Amino acid sequence: MNTYIALFRGINVGGKNSLPMKELVALLEDIGAKNVRTYIQSGNVVFQSIEKSPSQLSKQLAAEIKKRLGFEPHVLLLGLEAINKAMAENPFSEAEADPSSLHLGFLASTPKNPDLKKLNSLKKASERFHLGDNVFYLHAPEGVGRSKLAASSERLLGVPMTDRNWRTVCKIRELAGG
């Protein structure tokens, strides 16, 4: 069995794309997932599957949600090793003490032409970012809610991204047995 972490983007936000976690657990079990565990309502799921292709499993999951609920969310499927690597490569380890200020943006693929110059021009003096291996690290001590850098990062990177704060990433790894 392979352990997977599914990060859903844009569900249960502002009343749109409602996907109760109980329904998501049942849906995953229906497509063969085992030991399904969720964390908060925004779409963080850890499960096991015999499927060896994360890409294929992600497509199957999104299609099943579309079939049952009428919308197709972006689903990023990671292995435990990807979460462990992202955490180990965090360039802002001192920011871990304030886990709500440190964000990891998990990227669907490696950006081909990220506009790093524009990203730099948008950051506040207190903000820092680093583009790692399919992870966009952002330390925003004043919060991401008003951050122009946070708001524009996905567009300027040019690839789909789903963001989690450090506390959530730690909890997901804990659920996955890491």
Regarding predicted confidence, which is higher, 17 or 139?
Answer: 139
Residue 13 or 130, more confident: 130
Token pair in block for residue 77: 């499927």
157 burial type by CB count under 10 A (0-12 exposed, 13-18 middle, 19+ buried): buried
pTM beyond 0.75: yes
Is there a contact between 47 and 35 (Cβ–Cβ < 8 Å)?
yes
Res. 13: pLDDT tops 60: no
Query: What pLDDT, in 10s, does the model give residues 50-84?
Result: 988 888 898 899 899 999 988 888 899 999 999 99
User: Which amino acid is residue 90, in one-letter code?
Assistant: N
Q: What is the pLDDT of residue 14?
A: 57
- Taking 60 as the threshold, does the pLDDT of residue 31 lie above it? yes
pLDDT attached to residue 171: 96
120: Cβ–Cβ under 8 A, 6 or more apart, which residues?
Answer: none
105 CB contacts (<8 Å, ≥6 apart)?
135, 136, 137, 138, 153, 154, 157, 161, 162, 163
12-21, 33-42, 95-104: lowest mean pLDDT where?
A: 12-21
CA gap 114, 98 in Å, rounded = 28
Give dist(CA 40, CA 34) in Å, integer: 19
Average pLDDT of the segment spanning 87-109: 96
* Fold of domain 2-80: Alpha-Beta Plaits (3.30.70)
Q: How far apart are CA 71 and CA 78, in angstroms?
A: 22
- Supply the mean pLDDT for the chain: 92
Exposed/middle/buried for residue 48 (C-beta within 10 Å: 0-12, 13-18, 19+): middle
Enumerate the domain spans of the chain: 2-80, 89-176
On whether the CB atoms of residues 105 and 135 are closer than 8 A, the answer is yes
Place of tokens 């021009």: 121
Residue range 105-155, pLDDT digits in tens = 999 999 999 999 999 999 999 999 999 999 999 999 999 999 999 999 999
Count CB neighbours of 83 within 10 A.
24
Instruction: Identify the CATH assignment for 89-176 out of 3.30.70, 1.10.760, 3.40.710, 1.10.150.
Output: 3.30.70
178: pLDDT strictly greater than 80: no
pLDDT above 80 for 41:
no
